[in-house]
Amino acid sequence: MNERLRGRWVLITGASSGFGAAAARAFGAAGARLLLGARRVERLERVAAEARSAGAPEAHGHLLDVTSRASVEAFFVWVRERLGTGTAEAAPLHVLVNNAGGALGLDPVAEGRDEDWETMLQTNVLGLLRVTRAALPLMLGNPGGVILNVGSVAGHEAYEGGSAYCAAKAGERQITRVLRLELCGTGLRVCSLDPGMAETEFSLVRFKGDAARARKVYEGIQPLTAEDVAEAMVWIASRPPHVCIDEMVIKPTDQASVHKVHRRSS
């Protein structure tokens, strides 16, 4: 299946850690060429090196802050240079992985912080829109291309303390559906991959560096890993061109729903 990705250009946002870094390694192992964006450039360069070691013919990183229109525009100037856009040797962008996002805090609405809400909506919703808008001209005319948006079970189920994050991921899910309608007939596929509990830096970021609180989230369960989610990304992107995985929800076996989790006693 991975032969379908060999030599293709894949762009991943939020690629310096977690799902994004694991996706870079997984797509690299499938022989894809990688364009990686994130704010932490030093870590991004390490991920690019890991992707090349995994098998990527090329893997390049560049600063990207999806909350900034100027940063997105500068990033895509760089992307077009890498693809040779406007030259006879220009290559299309085959896969866009909109992975940049995340949660901040777990406060009820009555105690919520504007800066947390604004960051979650900027990264998960507006950032996804900005990046997709910039990427589409590089993908149209390339039937079989894939826009893969990383959502969450939070876009399907509400939970206490998740107001802005649940709203943001529900927004991601609806944007995916809108794009599916708008791009019907172009041959581009639009997919949402919605993970449940996965142990990455997600909870550490949500709880603003409180490692003990972050560990407690996964206590007594076997959560998903970033590699589990990356494997699903590669599978989705490597389907035949006539096959679109509109939506995939992936959860650990120990998690039946947001509020139903089996925890083993130590």
Annotated catalytic residue 218: no
- pLDDT tens digit sequence for 189-245: 999 999 999 999 888 888 888 889 988 899 999 999 999 999 999 999 999 999 999
Query: What distance in Å separates the CA atoms of residue 188 and residue 12, rounded to the nearest whole number?
Result: 17
Query: What distance in Å separates the CA atoms of residue 117 and residue 128, rounded to the nearest whole number?
Result: 16
Q: What is the pTM of this model?
A: 0.95
Handedness of CA 156, 125, 139, 187 (dihedral sign): positive
Answer yes or no: are the C-beta atoms of 179 and 147 closer than 8 Å: yes
Identify the segments of the chain with pLDDT beneath 50: 1
- What pLDDT score does 1 carry? 47
| Alpha helices (runs of H) in 84-207, residue ranges in sequence order | 114-121, 127-139, 163-182, 202-206
- What pLDDT score does 266 carry? 63
- What pLDDT score does 206 carry? 87
Answer yes or no: are the C-beta atoms of 260 and 230 closer than 8 Å: no
CA-based radius of gyration for the chain: 18
How far is the first Cα of the chain from the last one, in angstroms, to the nearest whole number?
A: 41
Looking at residue 17, the DSSP 8-state letter turns out to be S
Helices (H) and strands (E) in the chain, counts: 9, 9
Looking at residue 198, the DSSP 8-state letter turns out to be B
- What pLDDT score does 2 carry? 64
Q: 């600063």: which residue's tokens?
A: 63
Q: 């090329």: which residue's tokens?
A: 58
Looking at residue 224, the DSSP 8-state letter turns out to be B
Instruction: Catalytic residue, from 27, 165, 207, 218: name it.
Output: 165
Query: What distance in Å separates the CA atoms of residue 167 and residue 243, rounded to the nearest whole number?
Result: 29
Query: What distance in Å separates the CA atoms of residue 204 and residue 4, rounded to the nearest whole number?
Result: 36
Answer yes or no: are the C-beta atoms of 95 and 13 closer than 8 Å: no
- What pLDDT score does 19 carry? 96
DSSP string covering 177-219, please? HHHHHHTTTTT-EEEEEEE-SB-SSHHHHHTTT-HHHHHHHTT
- What pLDDT score does 203 carry? 83
Q: 């964006």: which residue's tokens?
A: 37
Structure tokens at 212: 């003990």
